[in-house]
């Protein structure tokens, strides 16, 4: 295994979307369509990353910020590649990129029943917060 990390570009969208579809704990919506992801990547250059084994995407992190807080969406690693440090590598590199933008705090959204995801984030020093929630509205 020879893992390399590169910036997430829209050229890899099909492989990335396939990975997301096949990972438990990832919720997809129309906001994850190619035009929306391309816009997100353009607004947040250098923050979202891919892990490759040869030409195959084996991990991804979608990361951005609003100028004040960083946000991580869709950290995913193919099941055969888990527990090898790929997720943590992607997180560390994205957080370093956020820090270079002057961002001092990062949040992520996670389903309450995604116990393996919560365990992962806590194992690398993140704090699961039950004191806040998310309120959403779909704009039509």
Q: How far apart are CA 12 and CA 92, in angstroms?
A: 21
Q: What's the pTM?
A: 0.93
3-state class of 51 per DSSP?
Answer: strand
Other C-beta atoms within 10 Å of 25: how many? 16
* Tens-place pLDDT, residues 83-97: 999 999 999 999 999
Q: How far apart are CA 76 and CA 84, in angstroms?
A: 13
Q: With bands split at pLDDT 50, 70 and 90, how would you rate the model's confidence at 134?
A: confident
């Amino acid at each position: 295994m020879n893992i390399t990390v590169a910036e997430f570009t829209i050229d890899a969208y099909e492989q990335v979307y396939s990975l997301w579809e096949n990972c438990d704990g990832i919720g997809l919506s129309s906001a994850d369509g190619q035009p929306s992801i391309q816009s997100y990547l353009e607004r947040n250059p250098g923050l979202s990353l891919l892990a490759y084994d040869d030409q195959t995407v084996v991990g991804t992190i979608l990361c951005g910020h609003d100028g004040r807080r960083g946000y991580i969406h869709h950290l995913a690693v193919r099941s055969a590649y888990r527990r090898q440090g790929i997720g943590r590598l992607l997180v560390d590199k994205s957080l370093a990129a956020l820090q270079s933008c002057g961002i001092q705090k990062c949040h992520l959204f996670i389903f309450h029943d995604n116990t393996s995801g919560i365990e992962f984030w806590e194992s690398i020093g993140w704090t699961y917060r039950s004191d806040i929630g998310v309120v959403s509205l779909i704009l039509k």
